Structure 1
Amino acid sequence: MKKHVLPLTMIGLLVLAWVIAFPKLPEQVPIHWNVNGEADGFASKLNAMFSTLGIMVILYISMSFLPKVDPRKANYKFFSKSYHIILNAILGVFFVINILVLANAAGYDVPIGSIGPLVVGIIFMILGNYMPQVRSNFFIGIRTPWTLSNEEVWKKTHRAASKIFFFGGLAMILATFAPVYWKETVLISVIALTVVAPYIYSYVLFKRRL
């Protein structure tokens, strides 16, 4: 039960925050910003609440339930602690997003262009730190046809992805201090490389075994 305390506390605090702030919020609330911190997406305050808080709740319920239906559910006992740390890290991103949406809608001058990449970078570093401990499963990790079909490919891919995610996250954090005119290019490039490289690497590893 202890593993549910932190996520339920985050969700409970956000429910309270939304309930208190909701009557005071404008009818249209910014919910998306570009890398320069400029709002480029809006929604009604009701939709904003459901899209930010609602997604977080659905994610928590889904990730709590999925291990029970995974065909490889026996593997979860080998990385249960890491699984819940990863879950809490992801939920932490949505917690920060909710706070930023509420603070911005309430009229506070929030430097979202800097906070957003900083938070994502930290999460990538956390994911990278725990990725080598993730055992083969169908719901979390680098799930390609090649990793799922070979245990050795899974392990080697996740060891490599660990370093890629960690240093990719570090690069995102450093990019928050970069000049505005090339921050977007750096962030997009780092995210693309961090996400795509492990998939390519898993294919290369698999082909080598044929």
Structure 2
Amino acid sequence: MGRAPGPEYGLLIEYNRVPRRNEMDLGHSTIERMMNMNKWLIPLASTLAAVLISIFTYNSLPAEIAVHFDSADNPDNWVSKPVGAFLSPAFILVLSWIVMFSIRFEKDESKRARAEATLPTIVGTLSLMLLAVHGSIIAFNLGYDIRSSAVASFIVGGVFIVLGNLLPRLPQGRYQWPKLPDHKQRQFARFQGKLMFFSGFIFIALAFLPGTYSFPVFLAVLFCFVAVTIVKAVTAVRHS
């Protein structure tokens, strides 16, 4: 008859059940690489889309491209065709990198982890916003009837809706004002998030107003948003 397994057999089984340090490090690095790829997915896709738009329409674009418009939706600033066609795609990557790099200045690991969890949404939203701006500029210069005020209202409204959902989950930054205790900060963030969310729908609705009314009402809504935010912040500081 064979010898019965001794205590060392049980220790061997338990040892085999424990993940090796190298395996844990490998799994952690794999997850980290996947997260980094996820952060860059939409910025890279937006950049590629913007470049393809410019390449396919380049020969049809005028020598001078209108890139800025006044309150009456009339162009008031132009750049050369190469700059107008390819500056925006480069700016998508640069802005995305700046946003991702800025989080490294946060020394609190828990706050940095919370901020990094929202990075794909933030840089994705910014990238899509810049892609929409680029597409509308190209379309206008191709002769399509594009109202810059309507495009701006849609884009700002969309950004407000996305950031309004994200704001309660973002950590309190070192340079953020007002500086509040954690429970007060959460209350203020929830209020500001709701305010941004509903303001976003108002901005989108402004896109359907005639051009002569859209810009003044846009400024009025933006002023009200800033004023309400400041009043709420001052009140929160006084009661903290």
TM-score over 0.5 (shorter chain): yes
What residue is the counterpart of 1:203 in the other structure? 234
Q: How far apart, CA to CA, are the structure 1 residues paired with 2:227 and 2:89?
A: 29
Shift of residue 150 of structure 1?
3.7
What residue is the counterpart of 2:161 in the other structure? 125
Shift of residue 138 of structure 1?
4.7
What residue is the counterpart of 2:113 in the other structure? 77
What residue is the counterpart of 2:142 in the other structure? 106
2:183 matches 1:152: yes
Shift of residue 108 of structure 1?
2.4
Q: How far apart, CA to CA, are the structure 1 residues paired with 2:73 and 2:217?
A: 15
1:50-89 CA deviation, whole Å, 9 max, x = no partner? 5533332211111121222223353132354433212211
For residues 180 and 2 of structure 1, do their structure 2 counterparts lie closer, same or farther at Cα, with a shift above 3 Å needed?
Answer: closer
2:204 maps to amino acid: I
2:110 maps to amino acid: A
2:186 matches 1:185: no
Shift of residue 105 of structure 1?
1.7
Percent of residue pairs bearing the same amino acid type: 19
Does the CA contact (< 8 Å) of 1:121 and 1:169 recur in 2?
Answer: yes
SS of match in other structure, 1:116: helix
Does the CA contact (< 8 Å) of 2:161 and 2:196 recur in 1?
Answer: yes
Does the CA contact (< 8 Å) of 1:120 and 1:172 recur in 2?
Answer: yes
Does the CA contact (< 8 Å) of 2:103 and 2:116 recur in 1?
Answer: no
Aligned-residue RMSD, C-alpha: 2.4
Give the structure-2-normalised TM-score. Answer: 0.74
SS of match in other structure, 2:145: coil
For residues 35 and 168 of structure 1, do their structure 2 counterparts lie closer, same or farther at Cα, with a shift above 3 Å needed?
Answer: farther
Does the CA contact (< 8 Å) of 1:38 and 1:113 recur in 2?
Answer: no
1:188 maps to amino acid: L
- Give structure 1 stretches of 5+ with no counterpart: none
Mapping of residues 39-78 of structure 1, within 5 Å: 39-49=75-85, 51-78=87-114
Count of residue correspondences:
204
Q: Name the stretch that deviates more: 39-48 or 163-172.
A: 39-48
Q: 1:175 aligns with which of 193, 199, 206?
A: 206
Q: 1:115 aligns with which of 141, 144, 151?
A: 151
- Give structure 2 stretches of 5+ with no counterpart: 1-36
Q: Name the stretch that deviates more: 182-191 or 20-29.
A: 20-29
